Amino acid sequence: MNCLLFNTKVIFDADIILCEEKSVTLTCSGAKKIQINWAMYGEDQDARHFTKTNTKTVRCHAENAMETVQNLCENRSSCELKASNAVFGDPCQGVYKYLHVKYTCF
C-alpha cells in the first residue's frame, strides 16, 4: 500500500482599502500569521472611486507604506492599522488619501 502525506495549509488572501482617518483590524484565525504582500498609502487616479472627490488629479504614495505596515503587522495574528498622515506621513498635501493593503494568512 502506498500512502502519500501532504502538508497542507489553508491560506487566506485579503485585499483591504481603507479611507483616510479610518481604522481596521487585520486578523488571521487560529495559529495563522499575517504576511504583508503589498501596501500603499496615498492616491492613485485610477482608484479615485474609493476616495472622496479630490480637487486635484494626482498619483502620490508614501515611500514607507510597505515597511510601516510590515512593522505593525508582519507575523502577528492580528494588528490595527489607521490610514493616517500621522502614521505614514503626508505624501501629497491637500489630497484625500487611502491605505491599500494586500495580505495573506498562513
Question: What's the pLDDT tens digit per position in 25-36?
Answer: 999 999 999 999
E strand segments, the chain: 12-19, 23-27, 34-43, 60-61, 78-82, 98-105
Q: What mean pLDDT do residues 8-15 have?
A: 74
**Cell representation of residue 74:** 508582519
When the candidates are 3.40.50.620, 3.75.10.20, 2.60.120.740, 3.40.50.1240, the CATH number that belongs to 12-105 is 2.60.120.740
Sequence spans of domains, the chain: 12-105
pTM of the model: 0.81
- Output the pLDDT for position 49: 45
Give the list of residues 6+ apart from residue 38 with CB closer than 8 angstroms, or none.
66, 100, 101, 102
Q: What rounded mean pLDDT belongs to the chain?
A: 85
- Output the pLDDT for position 13: 92
Query: In one letter, which amino acid is 62?
Result: A
- Output the pLDDT for position 54: 52
The whole-angstrom separation of Cα 39 and Cα 79 is 14
Per-residue model confidence as pLDDT tens digits over 51-85: 455 555 678 999 999 999 999 999 999 999 999 99
Q: Is the pLDDT of residue 1 over 50?
A: no
